[in-house]
Amino acid sequence: MNNTIVVGMGEALWDVLPEGKKLGGAPANFAYHVSQFGLDSRVVSAVGDDKLGVEILDNFREKQLNCMIEIVPYPTGTVQVELDAEGIPCYDIKEGVAWDNIPYTPALEGLARQTTAVCFGSLAQRSVVSRETINQFLDAMPKEGTLKVFDINLRQGFYTKEVLCNSFHKCNVLKINDEELVTVSRMFGYPGIDLQDKCWILLAKYNLKMLILTCGVNGSYVFTPGNVSFVETPKVNVADTVGAGDSFTATFVASILKGKTVREAHELAVEASAFVCTQNGAMPEFPMCLKEKI
C-alpha cells in the first residue's frame, strides 16, 4: 500500500461562518481525512494570487496536507455559510473564482497516472475549465484497480443533467444523499419508486462497483451488485454537520484501500462522520482509537 495515492479534486475555499472563516471545500476535507489514516493524499485545486490564497496554502502546510495547487489570476474562492437552528449549513458560493479555473498541466497528468483513488464532485464542474481538467484527470488514471468516487454534492443550481450523466459514466463509486437522490430521480425520470430501488437502478445502469446512500439521522446504505449494507446513524450531540459527509467518504475509501470489507468500511465511515458532527468545522483530528481501527 506504500505507493497508493489518493486525490481530492475540485474546490479549495474559505467557508465564511458566523464565528469566522474556516478552510473548506469537499476535496480538501476528503484529502485531509484520508491522510489521517496514513495514506498519501493530495488536494488538487487552484487559488488566487491573494491573501486568502496564501492562507489556504499555509493552512495545508500546517496540516501537513500534500497538494497540487495552481495559482491562477482569479480570486480565491469563498462561501458565505449560515447555519439554521439544527446546525444545517446554507451556502452562498461565489462564482468566477480560482477553483473554477484549475489548469490541466503535465504535472497533473503525471499525478493522475499514479492515482489509486480520486474523489470529485459536481460543484467544481460548474465551469468548463475545471470540468475539462477533472475529466482529463479521470481519463489519465490507470484503467484497472482504481476507485473513481463521484461524491455528487449538489449545491445551489451549480449542476446540469449533462454534467451529472457524464460523471455517472466516469465514476465507479457514487456517493449521494437522500435529498440529492430525489433531485437526480426527478431529472432522470425515476420518480415514484422507493429510494432503495432508485439506487439499484443507478448501480446497474452505470455499472458501478458501489453506491453509497446517506440519509442523515435515518442511517446509510452501501449497495454493491447483489448486496446492501445498512448502518444506523448513532445519536450524538451535533456541533455542526459541515464536512461530515466528506469524512464518511474519506474513511470509507481509506478502509477499502487498506483491505477492509465493504461492511467494515461502512461501519468505520459512520463512526468517523458521527465524530465530525460533534466537532466544530470540517477538519477535526480523529481520535487515535478510530485511526488505529484502519
pLDDT tens string for the chain (294 positions)?
Answer: 457 999 999 999 998 878 888 888 899 999 999 999 999 999 999 999 999 999 999 999 999 999 999 999 999 999 988 888 887 878 889 999 999 999 999 999 999 999 999 999 999 999 999 999 999 999 999 999 999 999 999 988 899 999 999 999 999 999 999 999 999 999 998 877 899 999 999 999 999 999 999 999 999 999 999 999 999 999 999 888 878 999 999 999 999 999 999 999 999 999 999 999 999 888 889 999 999 998
Residue 287: predicted pLDDT? 92
Q: Write down the pTM of the prediction.
A: 0.94
Q: Which residues, including other chains, have CB under 8 Å from residue 188's CB and lie 6 or more apart?
A: 161, 165
Q: Phi, psi at residue 171, to the nearest 5°?
A: -90, 165
CA-to-CA dists, residue 186 to 111, 121, 125, 176, 180, angstroms: 37, 19, 21, 14, 10
Residue 209: predicted pLDDT? 98
Provide the terminal-to-terminal Cα distance of the chain, rounded to the nearest Å: 13
Domain ranges in the chain are 5-293
Residue 62: predicted pLDDT? 93
Residue 89: predicted pLDDT? 76
Q: How far apart are CA 81 and CA 274, in angstroms?
A: 21
Residue 83: predicted pLDDT? 80
Residue 1: predicted pLDDT? 45
Q: How far apart are CA 117 and CA 109, in angstroms?
A: 14
Q: How far apart are CA 66 and CA 247, in angstroms?
A: 17
Residue 2: predicted pLDDT? 53
For the 5-293 domain, the top CATH level (class) is alpha beta
Q: How far apart are CA 134 and CA 129, in angstroms?
A: 9
Q: How far apart are CA 70 and CA 45, in angstroms?
A: 7
Residue 241: predicted pLDDT? 82
